[in-house]
Amino acid sequence: MAVDGDANRRTAERFREAMESGRLEELSRLQLEATTEDFVDEWPQSGERIRGQENIRAITDNYPQMTGTEPKMKLRRMLGEGDLYVAEGTIDYGDGTPVSYVGIAEFENGKIKKMTEYFANPFPAPEWRSQWVERME
């Protein structure tokens, strides 16, 4: 079944809105509606692979009580076409630290089949590079 790129973009935008709102219940609902049954989410930094809609929803649903926080995302940009989209932004886990985020979404038949997500804490830039760089805010 061929799906036009606009349907994938609309799905990606719905995820963006849910993540930026901080409403985890909305994100959980989308994880069921807008992912394939055999959905896979990979977090390479922690070496975790989450298989299936129910497992990713369980993580989302249990996140607030297990961590004491409700993360809120601010996306800088989302780029993509066809069956591949990339989102870049920051996540605030409630302590004010802007954790950098990159997510790669692969679509199949209008739903997300696979996500690969990277999360990185900020770190101080080494002084030795200062003559060649400018500071970002």
Instruction: Encode pLDDT of 6-65 as tens digits.
Output: 889 888 888 888 888 878 888 888 888 899 999 999 999 999 999 999 999 999 899 889
In CATH, what number is assigned to the domain containing residue 30? Answer: 3.10.450.50
Q: How many domains does the chain have?
A: 1
- Residues of the domain holding 105: 5-122
Residue burial 79-97, b: 16+ Cβ < 10 Å; e: rest = ebeebebebebbbbbeeee
Determine contact, residues 44/118, Cβ cutoff 8 Å: yes
Within a domain: 42: yes
Q: CA-CA-CA-CA torsion for 48, 54, 60, 64, nearest 10 degrees?
A: -110
**130 within domain boundaries:** no
DSSP characters for 18-77? HHHHT-HHHHHHHHHHSEEEEEEEEETTTTEEEESHHHHHHHHHHHHHHHS---EEEEEE
CA 126 vs CA 98, 133, 134, 135: distances in Å:
19, 11, 12, 12
17: in domain: yes
Residue 116 pairs with which residues in a beta bridge?
Answer: 42, 104
Is 40 domain-assigned? yes
Has residue 109 been placed in a domain?
yes
Residue 69 lies in a domain: yes
Asked if residue 128 belongs to a domain, the reply is no
Answer yes or no: is 61 within a domain. Answer: yes
Summarize pLDDT for 71-81 with one digit per residue, the tens. 889 999 999 99
> How many other CB atoms are there within 10 angstroms of residue 60's CB atom?
17
Q: How far is CA 99 from the centre of its chain?
A: 12
Instruction: Give 96-122 pLDDT, tens digit per residue.
Output: 999 999 999 999 999 999 999 999 999
